[in-house]
Amino acid sequence: MTDANNGGAEHLTSEDVAGRGEAQLLARTDVRRALAVARAIRHPWYRCQALASVADAMSAPASRDAALTEAVEAAFQQLEPNRVACAASWPLRVMVRQPR
């Protein structure tokens, strides 16, 4: 189900918000579990943010790049351009901070 008030994305739930927080905390100690939690978040806005946070904690460039790609894809699931840009700023911030 979509909602025109949230960019056409899934309805926001408390589980989405909690999932983002859980993924961010887990990323410090268990990147694999954090990635699984982030991927399970239904709302693309929060999934994007969680994936970017997990990617920021990853040391392997290939894994980090894959998580960042997923994060950007989640951002583009928002229907309003301003929401896409705002959500995409999370993975972009990680991209510019990480060495190539």
pLDDT per residue of the chain (100 residues) written in tens, 0 to 9: 344 444 445 688 999 999 999 999 999 999 999 999 999 999 999 999 999 999 999 999 999 999 999 999 999 999 999 999 999 999 999 999 977 6
φ and ψ of 80, to 5 deg: -90, 130
Give long-range contacts, CB 8 A cutoff, 24+ apart: 84-88. Answer: 84/7, 87/44, 87/45, 87/48, 87/49, 88/48
In a domain, 3, yes or no: no
Residue 44 CB partners (closer than 8 Å, separation 6+): 9, 10, 74, 75, 77, 78, 87
In a domain, 6, yes or no: no
Task: Answer yes or no: pTM beyond 0.85.
Answer: yes
The residue segments making up the domain with residue 24 are 12-97
User: Looking at the 3D structure of the chain, how many domains does it have?
Assistant: 1
Q: In this structure, what token pair is assigned to residue 94?
A: 């990680």
In a domain, 2, yes or no: no
In a domain, 7, yes or no: no
